[in-house]
Amino acid sequence: MHTPNPPLGLAYIGASLKQAGFIYKAIDCAGEALDSIRPYPFRNDFMTQGLTLEDAVRRVPDDADIIGFSCNFSTLWPITRMLAEKIRERFPRALLVLGGEHGTAVPEFSLRTSVFDMVALGEGEETIVAIVQAVRDKRALDNIPGTAVKTSSGEIQKNGLAKRIREIDDIPIPDWKEFPLEEYISRHQGNGVNMGRSMPLLATRGCPYQCTFCSNPGMWTTRYIMRDPKKLVDEMAAHMREYNVTNFDLQDLTAIINRRWAIEFCKEIIDRRLNITWQLPSGTRSEVFDDELAAILYKSGCHHLAFAPESGSAEVLQIVKKRVNLDELLEASRVTIRHGFVLNCFMVIGLPPDNVHTLRQSMKFVRKLAMMGVHDLVVSKFVPYPGSELFKQFQKEKKIQLDDEFFESPMDFYNEKSPSYCDAISSKRLYWTMILMFLNFYFISVTTHPLRTMRIVWNAVTKGQEETRYAKWLVDRLYVRRKWRKLRRDEVSD
């Protein structure tokens, strides 16, 4: 299950529009109907939360002349395209603009196979303001930096990524007043484990690394920009006052690269006595972790984080340009566990250079993680994510076909349907390797840390308390899914 999160990117876009003097209306198709559950339109084995497509169309104001859509995950492209088609029927003359990572990754495809007029590429705050200003002034839309446009002749014109915003502290803080934020907070709909009233936060932008399986270079380039720690904590304090939140889920691609910045950020939280928790559910780099940094991170309220070794094979890591030293990552893991962190690690299997030998190395590495006390493990099967270097390579080699089945394939991470993009390993073998990795990790974890496991499971079952991802999984099955089934029954009976 992918838990809907408050739309941080759209809240930034909205804030920039307001600062420029434009009025907008936000329609959060998930957040405005989180208790409405129905089967996914194209797959009966998945469920969706939120408004129906018809309800979403009805909520668009009659006088709308520019209608923007966000599609960050390519799995959502089929339903985004369908929504745009329904909106086009009602608004035949409106300018339809697509934003997010999907459109940035495949702008020509997105425009040729849909009713969209434009794609806003990459970082969107300045681009969307430029688009709205051009429409207001009745200027041509063909040459706006950071866009791809469907011309009157039907051709696709790409104007390249706009220049990255360097002074990110000048970007206004997210305009949450236009979004149903309380619906997310009260229902604990967030990215990390449930640690109370939580909301998302962005401390940095971009990532300086160039992993071939990641879409970051195409979306953000490799420029990594950190916010001023004082202004960042100012925003946290403001959200605490406004929304009574006690926890922040940092959505950064990798928040901790610069040691000095991390320490300054933690000191700012501690000196102001915010008494909060914050977590890094999306993962971060491990190179700068030592006892001093771990201690101040924990003291500031960061108790949950994740590292991403991806593979246990140094050879595979080198080929896919994942710049990580596995021995150093293991040492960083020992340090964080020693200081009381709940630590999760991400692994990817079925990368193109994988083979039977490298998968055995990854299995051995997973066992090491469990032995040393890592709390959680996420194993995913590789898919060529749109915009990544490997995706572009597979396109050139005609190994992938862009259709709904391809875009929805990541939904099948955890079954045998997901295709293998590794010549040496079949899809079936990848599936069972993934299952064995999970079984190895959690069996070793339970047997080497039985009291810890019993406590976590007991708190999940009796209190609905989430301390780890497997506790979150238990709470989901015991509480959330039960609620979903009831809501579905009620919806059917009505």
pLDDT band at 478 (very low <50, low <70, confident <90, very high): low
Q: Does any domain span residue 2?
A: no
Tell me the average pLDDT across 126-138: 97
347: domain CATH number?
A: 3.80.30.20
Residues 6+ apart with CB under 8 A from 424: 354, 355, 356
pLDDT at 27: 97
What is the average per-residue pLDDT within 78-90? 97
Domain final residue pick, 102, 124, 158:
158
pLDDT band at 33 (very low <50, low <70, confident <90, very high): very high
Residue 90, in any domain of the structure: yes
The pLDDT of residue 485 is: 54
Residue 174 belongs to some domain of the structure: no
State the pLDDT at residue 477: 63
Tens digit of each residue's pLDDT (9 = 90 or more) over 151-205:
888 889 999 999 999 999 999 999 999 999 999 999 888 888 888 899 999 999 9
Least confident of 151-165, 291-305, 307-321: 151-165
Number of domains, the chain? 3
Distances from the Cα of 402 to the Cα of 106, 150, 223, 396, 398, angstroms: 10, 19, 29, 12, 10
Residue 319 has pLDDT above 70, yes or no: yes
Are 419 and 438 part of one and the same domain? yes
Asked if 301 and 190 touch (Cβ cutoff 8 Å), the reply is no
Residues 103 and 201 in one domain: no
Assign 486 a pLDDT band (cuts: 50, 70, 90). Answer: low
Is the predicted pLDDT of residue 91 greater than 60, yes or no? yes
The verdict on 404 and 359 lying in the same domain is yes
Average pLDDT, the chain: 92
CA distance readout (Å), 138 to 92, 118, 131, 244: 18, 16, 10, 43
Same domain, 368 and 389: yes
pLDDT at 493 over 60: no
Q: Are 294 and 336 in contact (CB under 8 A)?
A: yes
Residues 14 and 120 in one domain: yes
For the ranges 112-116, 216-220, 252-256, 484-488, which has the lowest average pLDDT? Answer: 484-488
For residue 326, the enclosing domain spans: 180-448
Which pLDDT score is estimated for 480? 55
Write out the two tokens for 478: 């015991």
Residues 214 and 301 in one domain: yes
Question: What is the distance between the alpha carbons of residues 77 and 111, in angstroms, rounded to a whole number?
Answer: 12
The answer on 444 and 369 residing in a single domain is yes
Last residue of a domain, one of 158, 193, 220: 158
The string of DSSP letters for 55-91 reads HHHHTS-TT--EEEEE--SGGGHHHHHHHHHHHHHH-
Q: Are residues 200 and 153 in the same domain?
A: no
Give bridge partners of residue 279 from the DSSP assignment. 249, 304
What percent of the chain stands above pLDDT 90?
Answer: 81
pLDDT (0 to 100) of residue 44 = 74
Structure-model confidence comparison of residues 446 and 477, the more confident one: 446
User: At 388, which amino acid appears?
Assistant: S
pLDDT at 459 over 80: no
CB neighbours of 451 closer than 8 A, spacing ≥ 6? none
Say yes or no: 443 and 459 in one domain: no
Rg (CA), the chain: 23
| Angle CA 164–167–170, to nearest 5 | 120
Q: For residue range 237-275, what is the model confidence (pLDDT) as tens digits?
A: 999 999 999 999 999 999 999 999 999 999 999 999 999
pTM over 0.85: yes
Residue 2 is predicted with a pLDDT of 63
* Total residues found in the chain within this entry: 494
Q: Give the C-alpha separation, 207 to 217, whole Å.
A: 8
1 part of a folded domain:
no
- 394 and 484 co-located in one domain: no
Neighbours of 272 (CB within 10 A): 14
pLDDT attached to residue 474: 66
In 61-192, which residue ranges form alpha helices assigned H by DSSP? 77-90, 101-105, 107-112, 125-136, 181-186
Determine, yes or no, domain membership for 339: yes
**CATH number of the domain bearing residue 92:** 3.40.50.280
Q: Answer yes or no: do 470 and 329 share one domain.
A: no
476 or 386: which leads in pLDDT: 386
How many of the other CB atoms lie within 10 Å of CB of 151? Answer: 12
For residue 169, being part of any structural domain is answered with no
Quote the pLDDT of residue 352.
97
User: What is the band of 112 on the pLDDT scale with cuts at 50, 70, 90?
Assistant: very high
Element (H, E) at 289: none
Residue % of the chain over a pLDDT of 70: 95
List the structure tokens of 418.
């997901």
In a domain? residue 3? no
- What is the pLDDT at residue 410? 86
Q: Does 199 lie in the same domain as 150?
A: no
pLDDT (tens digit per residue) in 321-353: 999 999 999 999 999 999 999 999 999 999 999
Give domain status of residue 394, yes or no: yes
Instruction: Decide: helix, strand or coil at residue 158.
Output: strand
- Tell me the average pLDDT across 420-447: 95
Q: Choose the weakest-confidence range: 124-133, 151-160, 283-292.
A: 151-160
Spatial distance between the Cα atoms of 379 and 434, rounded to a whole number of angstroms: 6
Q: Pairing relation of β-strands 247-250 and 198-201?
A: parallel
Identify the band that residue 79 occupies on the pLDDT scale cut at 50, 70 and 90.
Answer: very high
